[in-house]
Amino acid sequence: SFGYYKECVDCCSKVLNEIENFNVEINYNFYYKYLFNMYVSTYYLNKEESKKNADKIKLLINKIPQIKNIYLENKDFYDKQFSFCL
């Protein structure tokens, strides 16, 4: 019954792997969206994995200014979403 979430995780994993290995040009808006979609999908499949994804996003927010700017554009929403597992 969680097939769509699993498919989303699979898709996000492949795209994120390409971005993080610098095989494709980084578009930070897309990168953040894939990170967030991965977080949401893993939330419904595996809460522990979801926490790891949220921690990774928080780390990237503090490390990459472009990611931080995207996060800050809708900070209240993202904080509310991350509060479910952090």
Please name the amino acid found at residue 31. Y
pLDDT per position as a tens digit, 7-44: 999 999 999 999 999 999 989 999 999 999 999 999 99
Query: Is 0.85 surpassed by the pTM of this model?
Result: yes
Average pLDDT, the chain: 94
Q: What is the 3-state secondary structure (H, E, C) of 59-85?
A: HHHHHCHHHHHHHHHCHHHHHHHHCCC
- Per DSSP, the residues of 5-42 read HHHHHHHHHHHHHHHHTTSS---HHHHHHHHHHHHHHH
- Residue 33 CA to residue 38 CA, distance in Å, equals 8
